[in-house]
Every structure is written in C-alpha cells, then in structure tokens.
A and B are shown apart, each in its own frame.
Chain A
Amino acid sequence: MSSTAHTHVAHRDDYGSRMGMWLFLFTELILFGGLFIVYAVYRYMHQQEFHLAAQELNTTIGMLNTIILLTSSMTAAMSITALQKGNVRFSMSLIVVTILFAGTFMVNKFFEWSAKIHHGIYPGSKELVMRPEGEILYFGLYYVMTGLHALHVIVGVTIFVFVLVFMKTGTVNQTAYVKLENAALYWHLVDLIWIFLFPLFYLIH
C-alpha cells in the first residue's frame, strides 16, 4: 500500500491506473470470449461446412492484415520507450505510424468485406440463405466477429488520437505517461484478438 499516495489531494497512482486498465481488458477478453464460445460450438456442429466456407476467404489479405497489426503493435510499444527516453517527437511519430497501420488494416478490411458483399454473401442475403446452415453460421460469425474487432480498431485509433493531443499539450510526458501505456495496452488487446481470429477464420483447411 502506498501510503504516500494519500497525502496529495489529487493523488496519482500509475500502478492503479494500469491495474484498472487490465481489468477492463479482461472484460473485453470475455466479451470476445462469448463469441469464441459461439464459434466453437457451431464449428463443432458443422465442421465440414466451416471448412468449405473458409475456402472462400482470401488468406493473403488475412495474413497481410495480421502482419500489419503485429507491426502496429510493435510501433505502439516502441512509442512508450521513446517517451521514457524523452523523445516526445519520435514517440508521437510512432503513434502516428500506428494509426496509419490501423487505417491500412481498415482499408483492407473494407475491400475484403465489399468483395464478399459484391458476391452476395452477407447476412440475410438470398445467396447465403440458400446455402447449408453451417455456412450461414460461418459467415454470420465472420461478419459479427471481424465487425466487432474492426469497431475496436476504430476505438483504439480514437484513444491514440486523444493521447496525441495530450502529448501535444504536455499532459502526457516523460514522467507521466500512464495514459499512453493504457492506450497501448488496449491496442495490444486488439492485436491479441486478431491473433486468434486469423487462424480461426482464414486457416481452416
């Protein structure tokens, strides 16, 4: 227990902030966990159909997006090191790079989804409803899970934009950077989820 923390009126507890962030990440983990349960059950029930449906996804785009997210995770982590070393400018540019990677990820996602929708594969479409149940479920889950993930990418970018503003104003600086750490933690979670989504949707061969 840090007894010194109580002597200040506005007390600062970076350790506590990180702990709170981790707890929040657990809720995100379980949120996706619910979807993974649904996925696991339906894949178990319709193995063959999941296998067939997965052939229709473009593994190259999936892999490209995996590499993009992994790299963005690295630049996010590096921005902390840069700030700790006092390189505010470098730190900020690393965040900008992270955001750009996130943008690229979303552009890829957009093309991937539009291609599918163009082929008439989207929830409730005539083409999809005609297919076997397992394939309907596969694509239903594909849209829901990658969609929710994409939503998290957008939230992550928003958080990083806020952190950039805080760094500009000096609220986040070399000695007080827990906000950046927490933003990066969130971003790594987005990466972590994708690490599982990728093999589960693109690599069922």
Chain B
Amino acid sequence: MSDHHSQENVHVVDYGKYIFVWLSLLAFTGITVSVSGINLGNWTVVIALVIASVKSWYVLNYFMHLRHEDIVFKIFISVALITLAIFVSLTFLDYSFVR
C-alpha cells in the first residue's frame, strides 16, 4: 500500500501557479459563456459539461492539491465519480427508453 507516507512531505505551491490556474479557469468560463450563444443542438450541453469537467480537473488538481496526494486519494475519487456515473446511467436506462 502506498498510504504509508505521513504529513512529512509538505508541498508548498507557488502563488504564481495559483494565479495561472485562476486565469485558465476564467478563460474557460469565458469560453463556455460564448460557446453557449451558438446553437449546436444537443451538443450544447455536452460542450458545457466537458468545459465544466476541465475546470473541475484544474480545481481538483491544483487548488485541492490532488496532484501531490497519494494514489489512494486518486483511487478514492475515481470510486466516488464512477459510483455517481453508475447512478446516473442506470437511471437513464429507464428514462431514455420507451416506458
């Protein structure tokens, strides 16, 4: 198991890095707002969710320091996200077919 490390390995993240991430997040916000103006039919929601996921990836990795955490944390979060994905997709087994 890799959860053997303790609090010793301290990562100090530069202010500069945070500012860079913040700027990227603002840029993505701008993109998602401007793209939403274009009529892409069903793709609109897909694109909005993809951009939101990219933004979340930045927040998780940099602001929430997931990059510097053990693999266990990453496994945990995948378990949580997969669970949520299962809940959503199996619910849609009902709704996306003729009832």
CA of A71 to CA of B95 in the docked complex: distance in angstroms?
Answer: 38
- B32: which A residues are within 8 A, CB to CB? 198-199, 203
Verify A77–B12 contact, CB threshold 8 A.
no
- Known contacts A63-B29, A70-B26, A199 near B18 by CB under 8 Å: no
Q: Contacts A40-B88, A44-B96, A85-B12: A77 and B52 contacting too (C-beta < 8 A)?
A: no
User: A residues 11-29 with Cβ under 8 Å of B?
Assistant: 12-15, 18-19, 22-23, 26, 29
Q: Which of B3, B19, B95 is within 8 Å of A15, CB to CB?
A: B3
Q: Mark A33-52, 1 if CB is under 8 A from B, else 0.
A: 10011001101110000000
Query: In this assembly, does A169 line the interface, its C-beta being within 8 Å of a C-beta of chain B?
Result: no
- In angstroms, Cα B88 to Cα A41, docked, is 9
Are B29 and A67 in touch, CB under 8 angstroms? yes
**Which of the four size classes fits the interface of chain A?**
35 or more
Question: B80 touching A37 by the CB < 8 A rule?
Answer: no
Residue among B6, B10, B63, B70 making CB contact with A74, cutoff 8 Å: B63
Asked if A200 is at the interface of the complex by the 8 Å CB criterion, the answer is: yes
Residues of A within 8 A of B52 (CB): 195-196, 198-199
Q: Is the CB of B77 within 8 A of A33?
A: no
A interface majority secondary structure: helix
How many B residues touch A, CB cutoff 8 Å?
A: 52
B25 to chain A, nearest CB (A): 5
A22 to B59, CA, bound (A): 14
Known: A41-B91, A73-B59, A77-B13. A205 touches B29 (CB 8 A): no
**Which residues of B from 11 to 27 have beta carbons under 8 Å from A?**
12-15, 18-19, 21-22, 25-26
Residues of chain B within 8 A (CB-CB) of A108 are none
* Docked-complex contact B59 and A203, CB < 8 angstroms: no
**B62 and A30 contact, CB distance less than 8 A:** no
4 other A-B residue contacts (CB within 8 Å) besides A36-B88, A77-B13: A80-B13, A81-B12, A184-B64, A196-B56
Question: Which residues on B are within 8 Å of A, measured CB to CB?
Answer: 1, 3-7, 10, 12-15, 18-19, 21-22, 25-26, 29, 32-33, 36-37, 39, 44-45, 48-49, 51-52, 55-56, 59-60, 62-65, 69-70, 72-73, 76-77, 80, 83-84, 87-88, 91-92, 95-96
A-B pairs with lowest CB-CB distance, top 6: A14-B7, A199-B48, A203-B36, A26-B80, A74-B22, A77-B63
5 contacts between A and B (CB under 8 A): A33-B87, A41-B91, A63-B29, A81-B12, A205-B37
